[in-house]
Structures are given as C-alpha cells and as structure tokens.
Amino acid sequence: MMTKISFIVAFMIVFFTGIAYGYDKQESQNLIMSEMVTLDKAFKTAIDAVLLNQLERIAPAFEDVHKVREQVEHAVKEREKIVLPKNQSLFKVFVRLDNRFHHEVEILVDASKKKNMKAVQRQVSRLLNMCVRCHGLFRK
C-alpha cells in the first residue's frame, strides 16, 4: 500500500515539475518569438515607409518592438533563463547582437523623426543585414 502511494506521489511530482518546466520554457521561448514577430511587422512597415515616402509611420511601428524589447532586457538583467530555439550555447553572442541591433533601431527611429530619408534608407539596409546575420547564426 505504502509503496503504491509513494509511487503515485513520486509520479505526481515528476508530472507537475514537468508541466511547470515546460511552461517556463515555453514562456521564455515565446519572448524571443514575440520579439521577432513584432520586429518583423515593424520592419515591413519601415520598408513601406521608405517606398511610399511616409517616414511618419516608422516611429509608431516600432513602439511595440520597444515594449517587447524591455521585457527581454529585464529578463537578461534578472538572469531569467531565455531559451533560444537553437544554439543556446551562443546565448551571449545573441545578447550582444540583439543589443547592437536595437541601438541601430534607435538611430532609424531618430532619423525618421527628423525626416532624414537618406539616413533612414541607410539604417533600413543596415538592419536588414543584421537580421540576416543573426539568423545565419541562430536559425541554422
């Protein structure tokens, strides 16, 4: 009887820890994914803004990116585990590239507010190169 109960208890512990761990992992993985989804949307708006000469669309498009970005930054600072879908061992490289990337986003947003089309174009192509470079490392 006792062994049966302890077996059930042990099973439940393993089961619920598994759920909690899985949830945690999913949560932090979602953080990177939601960063990417909002980034993707904002970046496409930025491309349209260049093509259609509507630079005023850029700053509002990146507002959501800033919000998710703050969550990522917070998680990194608090040393909460951020799970990358692939290449977790290169996490420090990811953080460095991500920081650099967001610095360039700031330059883009500033240039768009100043209606500086030349600088906006330069930043859009610089950012595109950075998307490709980071994906080359982390989507393999």
Q: Contact with ligand HEC (CB under 6 A): which of 67, 74, 115, 135?
A: 135
d(CA 11, CA 5): 10
Looking from the CA of 48 toward its CB, the CA atoms found within 13 Å total 10
Please say which residue, 10 or 128, places its beta carbon nearer to ligand HEC: 128
Distances (CA, A) of 128 to 19, 43, 79, 108, 121: 38, 9, 29, 12, 11
Query: At closest approach, how far in Å is the CB of 28 from ligand HEC?
Result: 12
Q: Which range touches ligand HEC (CB under 6 A), out of 13-21, 58-66, 92-100, 115-123?
A: 92-100
By CB under 6 A, the residues from 20 to 39 that bind ligand HEC are: 32-33, 36, 39
Q: Which range touches ligand HEC (CB under 6 A), out of 20-28, 49-57, 111-119, 130-138?
A: 130-138
Single-letter amino acid code for the residue at 34:
S
Q: Residue 110, exposed/middle/buried by CB under 10 A (0-12, 13-18, 19+)? A: middle
What's 115's DSSP letter?
A: T
By CB under 6 A, the residues from 44 to 83 that bind ligand HEC are: none
134 binds ligand HEC (CB under 6 A): yes
d(CA 99, CA 93): 10
- Residues lying near ligand HEC in the complex (CB under 6 A): 32-33, 36, 39-40, 43, 84-86, 94, 97-98, 101, 127, 130-131, 134-135, 138-139
